[in-house]
Structure 1
């Protein structure tokens, strides 16, 4: 297979092409939750050859709405399933909210065709986030597929999934802010031997009526980063080269600097090859509230284990949501948040 390097975010400009083939479940008016049936996405653009400009295909899959109150926060959950991919293709699951509150997040991976790795031929990507209601009224959120082929072939795949408001009345911290944090924009932060990274740190004072707290941390891990460490102009990794790392979510409830309770540690080790390129790492744990302990302190520890160095991807920028050049937006990638459980 003639496959293009996984460094698609550096090689292509993204654009909106709102076309797809397949059935569509229509919900009118939009509900707070929707499950959409599998549909075939065709016309996925081939990767650009030298001197070409090619745009990602962006497909709005479904929309939900909810009535929200200013000063409260909504919790959005989405799942995008992808399979039957004709080639190695990018699969990004992006959620964008507008109206009474705005926010967006995108998580993604590359999918393999039937000739690829068996565990990469059918994938599910979860994107979830908190969105603050800045006014009272209707919040509208949509789930999008962002995709492009990593080969010089126009491609296709099948997708399905769900989008829902998992909560619409979540209280914010005592300062009036959603209990959420995201890694900033910029090049991926390199993860290398002996130098763990501490990311997605939450340090907040909880409202009084949280009796149990769930912390959710989603990390976007990129393999083979930097991809040209020696600066010779050639990629350091082949498609089968891998990066292996460990991700651990720690959560504590504290009274000042004193720890009152700790949540069970959530940990996973992942190995990502250069063909998969990047992988969404979801972590979750929860802890019961202890009287007098209002401080929530949580973070993810990322550790290099073996193989090529990797990177932690921050906020994605310059994502176009219709045909270029405008408008453009940013979406969170690596981020964490807390909700009552």
Structure 2
């Protein structure tokens, strides 16, 4: 039954996109089910910082010849389960071309099968989705990677990559009036969400952007990575309590500096345990109607409000991810981000 739901979710997401491209230009690859190593924490000498040994495993690639003005929508879906111990599970997509790269990653711990207090976290599905825009006429190759590690220092862990796929869900997405995709990732760092006094986050956030006339609606996607404990000196983030927060996606249309209309996706409330460490929260407003009596000027953001338990934070861009296990070369990858697909029908 879970597999049927997995496929239906993917099919429904496609219905909100721009008109499909020619079938010969759309590529997709399905991932082979396989075990994934989650390496243990490497031993360090006293006084040395904790190191992480992360498995980085390529699962498949898709490629697309793109023009200098073209923007495409790429999406990777992965499902993992059967962990032998609590493990970090990351779904990363790296799109590269001569002289350029765009990378995004989503992640969440997958808990040990049959031995956790949260059975729903023992089977985790992650989606990494974003707009890719090389800005030059070139061939873009996007590769999906599963990244994994475990935080114990005695034994490696493993989990099962159950199923998944990588695809160009749309090969031609309209840009803003400036010729760029309507997309932004939260910069590096951690944006605190907590009490006393209450601190909210408006991240990820897409600043004002303008569209050419003729669009009738917007499909707005927002993916938030929430860390369940905001780290400060002498604070123990390895024990309860959990962190509870609400997430609401807002989309606004403006006339100059005056709000013309506003809409929001249904608010979701998440109680997030420390054992899961960071949580993937996906929001989607598929049908924001563009009013013709307003300017074609918009912005969007996710309002994150603390409700109970530990204070937490919205995770920004991941810095210094290893290109492969043990490699000296690294790269950065967007995490929390929001993007817009403008539609004319």
TM-score bucket of the superposed structures, by smaller chain? 0.7 to 0.9
Alignment check: 8 A CA contact 1:31 1:64 kept: no
Which segments of structure 1 move beyond 4 Å, counting only runs of 4 or more? none
Residue 120 of structure 1 aligns to a residue whose secondary structure is helix
Match of 1:63 in 2: 61
Identify the match of residue 34 of structure 1 among 29, 38, 41.
Answer: 29
Alignment check: 8 A CA contact 2:192 2:200 kept: no
Residue 169 of structure 1 aligns to a residue whose secondary structure is coil
1:175 and 2:191 matched = no
Deviation at 1:272, TM superposition (A): 1.2
1:84 and 2:85 matched = no
Q: How do 1:316-331 and structure 2 match up within 5 A?
A: 316-322=318-324, 324=326, 326-331=328-333
CA distance in 2, matches of 1:56, 1:236: 21
Alignment check: 8 A CA contact 1:242 1:308 kept: yes
TM-score by structure 2 length? 0.83
Alignment check: 8 A CA contact 2:32 2:59 kept: no
CA deviations on 1:26-73 (whole Å, 9 max, x unpaired) are xxx9971122232122x4311234437552000001111112111121
Alignment check: 8 A CA contact 1:205 1:296 kept: yes
Cα 1:323–1:48 change in 2 (3 A) is closer
Q: How do 1:6-21 and structure 2 match up within 5 A?
A: none
Aligned residues: 306
Alignment check: 8 A CA contact 1:315 1:332 kept: yes
CA distance in 1, matches of 2:65, 2:254: 34
1:73 and 2:68 matched = no
CA distance in 2, matches of 1:241, 1:153: 26
Match of 1:253 in 2: 253
Unaligned runs of 5+ in 1: 1-28
1:205 and 2:210 matched = yes
Cα 1:190–1:71 change in 2 (3 A) is same
1:112 and 2:114 matched = no
CA distance in 2, matches of 1:108, 1:60: 16
CA distance in 1, matches of 2:283, 2:295: 23
Match of 2:275 in 1: 275
Match of 1:311 in 2: 313
Deviation at 1:133, TM superposition (A): 2.6
CA distance in 2, matches of 1:93, 1:319: 13
Residue 119 of structure 1 aligns to a residue whose secondary structure is helix
Deviation at 1:137, TM superposition (A): 2.9
Unaligned runs of 5+ in 2: 1-23
CA distance in 2, matches of 1:210, 1:326: 46
CA deviations on 1:268-305 (whole Å, 9 max, x unpaired) are 11111111000111111031222253011211111010
CA deviations on 1:5-37 (whole Å, 9 max, x unpaired) are xxxxxxxxxxxxxxxxxxxxxxxx997112223
CA distance in 1, matches of 2:25, 2:69: 23
TM-score by structure 1 length? 0.84
Identify the match of residue 184 of structure 1 among 183, 187, 199.
Answer: 187
CA deviations on 1:180-218 (whole Å, 9 max, x unpaired) are 1111112x1211121211122221001324221111111
Match of 1:298 in 2: 300
1:225 and 2:230 matched = yes
Match of 1:196 in 2: 200
